[in-house]
Structure 1
Amino acid sequence: MTIRRHAEEARLSGAVAGGGLLHLAGQVADDALFERGEADAEAQTADILAQIDALLAEAGTDKRRLLSVTVVLADIADAPAMNRAWDRWLDPAAKPARMTIEARLVDPRWKVEITGVALLP
């Protein structure tokens, strides 16, 4: 089985493809979002989903092939804001299984982290 790594960084790969699946690392908002002062949960979610779209495209797949997604919120009270961005992005004909949980995130500026698994073509 061939394993392909995408968007490699010092400690991790942004996504890893193998066995017909693409595993996304936890994606968080880009630093530029904080520099622009646009860092609420809705804006962070939209930014993360754009990053996920890019990783999926790089691997040759797209959001319609997402099997499961885990959304981690630093504060569960941000769920409505996260869902506004999610609902704008979601293809209603191809909804993945999703879990949303609350947990402390590594950087206190982060309100949202999203990971998932997609099927490769």
Structure 2
Amino acid sequence: MTPLGDQDQPYNGSSLRSSWLQRKSKNTEVDVRIIDDEVNIKLVQQKRINCLLFVSKVLHELQLDLHHLAGGFIGDYYSFLFNTKILEGFSVYANAIANKLIEVVERQYATIPPISSY
């Protein structure tokens, strides 16, 4: 999927960075929204594994400070919302966040055997 928005908007005379990107793979959906230095990430994945440990490592690698986490079950899916802030002096893009999260979560799916139904 391609970025839905990636632009700088003037805000009170200064430049406000904002971008929005959605990515989807076989088992995972990621929605990343960046406004100035705040990053909101929505992650939806099939209910076979819990990815919180792996995602927290990715956030740390990308220099994102986790401020709030909410999550729950929706049918056969886990849904998580991460509110983070870009650490001062660092820069990260929505594309890099989404790609890295999908890569890490999909790698974990590849390590578990498929669910067989009877």
Q: Same fold (TM over 0.5)?
A: no
TM-score, reference length from structure 1: 0.34
Structure with higher RCO (Cα < 8 A, 6+ apart): 1
TM-score, reference length from structure 2: 0.34
From the two aligned structures, give the one with the greater helix fraction: 1
